[in-house]
Homo-oligomer: A and B are copies of this chain.
Amino acid sequence: MSEPVSHLQIALTSLPLCRQLDAEEIDALLRGTREHAFRRGEMLFSKGDPSTGFFSIIRGQIKLALPSPQGGEKVLEIMGPGQSFGEAVMFMEVPYPVFAQALTEGTALHISKAVLFAAMDRDPRLARKLLAGLSMRLHGLIQDVEAYTLQSARQRLVAYLIERAGDAPPLRAEVRLPTSKTVIASRLNLTPETLSRVLHGLAEAGLIEVRGRVIQIPDLPRLASENA
C-alpha cells in the first residue's frame, strides 16, 4: 500500500490541473506520465505532429512558435516551470499547429491523452480545470491579437514590460527578460533591430534603464501612462 513517493508523483501533484485530485487519481495519471529530459534547441514536437498527450515543464524554458515560409519563425509563447501546453490539440483531430522547442536544457512531464481522458470520465473537476485553463489561453491569444493589430511596436513593448513587472509594483520595478532579446522580439512580433531601437528610445526618454537583460523601471505609472 505505502509505496515510496516518487519525484514524479510530487511533480504531478503540484500541477494546477491536478490540485484537489485524490491520491488514486494521481496514481492513475502517473501510469501514463513520462519524464522527458531535453537539451537546449531540442524539438519537443514539430508543427504537423499528431498529439499523444500534453506537456508540463518541470525545469527549463520552452518556446511555442510558428515556422515562417522564409525559414524564420514567430514565437507565440515563452514558457517556464509549472506551465503546461498541448492540452487543446488533444481534443481535436488535427495535428499540432505550432512547434515546441527548448530554449534551455531542462525536464518536462508528458501525460498521455488516454489516461487523462480516463481520469476525466471519473472526475468532472478535471474537465472543469481544463476548461478554465483553455479559457485563459484563449483570453491570452485575444490579447495578443489586440496587441498585434491595434498597438505600435513601442506600445507592445511597454505593455510587455509592465506585465512582466508583476502585480503589486508600487513605483519602481526591475524586470529581467526571460530569454534572449531575439526571442523576445519575435514574441512581440518585432525584428531584433526594432526591439533594440525601441528599448533605446525608451531609455533616452528616461522611462527605463537597460543593462543587458535587466531593465530598470524608475517610474512604473509614468511608463504605463505612455501607452494610453
Binding site for B on A (CB under 8 A): 66, 68-69, 74, 76, 88-92, 94, 97-98, 120-121, 124, 127-128, 130-132, 134-139, 141-146, 148-150, 189, 228
| Cβ-defined contact, B97 with A142, below 8 A | yes
Q: How long is the Cα–Cα vector from A145 to B66 in the complex, in angstroms?
A: 10
Closest chain B residue to A92 by CB distance? B135
Q: How long is the Cα–Cα vector from A88 to B139 in the complex, in angstroms?
A: 8
Given contacts A97-B143, A124-B124, A141-B141, 10 further A-B contacts (CB under 8 A): A66-B145, A66-B150, A69-B228, A74-B150, A89-B135, A91-B134, A94-B139, A98-B142, A130-B131, A131-B131
For the complex formed, measure the closest distance between the CB of A187 and the CB atoms of chain B, giving whole angstroms. 11
A139 and B74 in contact, given A132-B91, A145-B144, A148-B148 (Cβ under 8 angstroms) = no
| Cβ-defined contact, B142 with A74, below 8 A | no
For the complex formed, measure the closest distance between the CB of A87 and the CB atoms of chain B, giving whole angstroms. 8
Q: How long is the Cα–Cα vector from A204 to B221 in the complex, in angstroms?
A: 52
| Cβ-defined contact, B68 with A150, below 8 A | yes
Which chain B positions have C-beta within 8 A of A149?
66, 74, 148, 189
Q: How long is the Cα–Cα vector from A146 to B148 in the complex, in angstroms?
A: 11
| Cβ-defined contact, A69 with B150, below 8 A | yes
